[in-house]
A and B are shown apart, each in its own frame.
Chain A
Amino acid sequence: MSRAQVLETADQAVAGIEDGSTVLVGGFGLAGIPFDLIDALIRQGAKDLVIVSNNAGNGDVGLAALLAAGRVRKVMCSFPRQSDSWVFDRLYREGKIELDVVPQGNLAERIRAAGAGIGAFFCPTAVGTPLAAGKETREIDGRTYVLEYPIKGDYAFIAAYRADTIGNLVYRKTARNFGPVMATAATTTIAQVSEVVPVGALDPETVVTPSIYVDRIVVAAARRHTAQGAR
């Protein structure tokens, strides 16, 4: 892959996303959600999407808006049910969306495995629970593990704090969350950032996502969403 492209608009950043794509979407609650990319995807119109994210949308913004627009066939997430997940809750109860609940650590590690070229791994999480039902298990050194497979994306949408013009990324506080692992696990990784700086302006010791993982960058003004709502 060639160097990352710095694009003018979020619409350019999401151009070409096909119907039926699997999109890894960073964020936890409202921290680190790539709102501008999701809004651009709604305008872009791709449908029948599989969304992999920790949550299934909060309030009426971000993923909730994408779900409400009827573009999502399936959600893979750890925690869909929240006090403000009414859009997902309604679609789920109407049978209009599939849900694959994945323990949060397995979600992260399965995405990491995809990015790291790991074919599958044995994990102790969920042994003896309904979420391991039907899965292959193995006893290793006296402990039981469940076989888990990678989750790869066609696209990853992540929100970082700063990028340089070749695509090195740094994050801010707990908005980092799934960004670094998702960036590694998609065919095309698209980052929205608060600021793009010249090559050499980021301290190499502080780069979290190296440029090799990043394909498209767009600057988006930080939005101030909190659990109390947008502000």
Chain B
Amino acid sequence: MDIRDPGHGPLSMDELAAIIGHDIPPGSYVNLGIGQPTKIGDHLPTDADGNPAVILHTENGMLGMGPAAAGDAIDPDLTNAGKVPVTELPGAAYFHHADSFAMMRGGHLDVCVLGAYQVSARGDLANWHTGKPDDIPAVGGAMDLAIGAKDVYVMMTLFTRNGEAKLVPECTYPLTGTGCVSRVYTDYAAFGIEPDGVRVLATYGISLADLRQRVHVKLLG
């Protein structure tokens, strides 16, 4: 596979959201978690009439979630997983929490996109707890999504503020799930977690040689 390189980078999180949105297959049932991945909602595929071609799931009990609500459309009874007021699209459905998470565990969701502290070369995910003694652990739906969705994509910066790669041989943060990540989208490169290793799918303004120097995981590509 050729490595894609749009010729500039590193990408902003909005640019990255557009790339991930473009890669989500039309017809998918998709969960965008909370925080940065929710930006992907602005970049999802549409059909010939301009209508959404994917159906968004939110863990708090809804399929067919629409964009964030504004003004008079804000309804305290209608929020997303990040507690942000949202809207409903035609064809929406509401259900209770046990059903919502059965959809995940039962393998009915096609794609979820989560943030991460670290992803390992084997696709282990760490995104719920820093493990620091004064940090209050909070897992939410991350562990259920990680093992439930058919494809788990991660959206994150490739490096910490200190310049350490977050794609690592072994996670040092507490795990969310093991062997569950299939793709890692970052500001410098996109990676596929494959049976024979980590494949570079795209680079954004960094050479493969520089990437190999800064990321201490064997990179195919």
Chain A residues within 8 Å of B, Cβ to Cβ = 28-32, 54, 78-82, 88-89, 92-93, 99, 101-109, 111-112, 123-131, 171-181, 208, 223-227
Contact = CB atoms under 8 A, between A and B. Distances in A.
Nearest to B65: A174
B96 A179 contact: yes
Contact of A32 (B62, B77, B85, B174): B77
A172 B88 CA distance: 12
B13 interface: no
A173 B94 contact: yes
Contacts of A125: 105, 143-144, 147-148
Contacts, number: 155
Given A99-B136, A123-B105, A176 B94 contact: yes
B101 to A, nearest CB: 3
Given A31-B79, A102-B139, 18 more contacts: A28-B60, A28-B79, A28-B83, A31-B60, A31-B83, A82-B83, A93-B136, A101-B137, A103-B143, A105-B144, A123-B105, A126-B143, A126-B177, A130-B129, A130-B175, A131-B139, A177-B97, A178-B97
Contacts of B97: 28, 54, 104-105, 107-108, 177-178, 181
A224 B129 CA distance: 32
A103 B97 CA distance: 12
A13 to B, nearest CB: 21
Contact of A174 (B61, B129, B141): B61
A104 to B, nearest CB: 4
Nearest to A230: B76
A171 B62 CA distance: 13
Given A80-B136, A101-B137, A108-B101, A177 B61 contact: yes
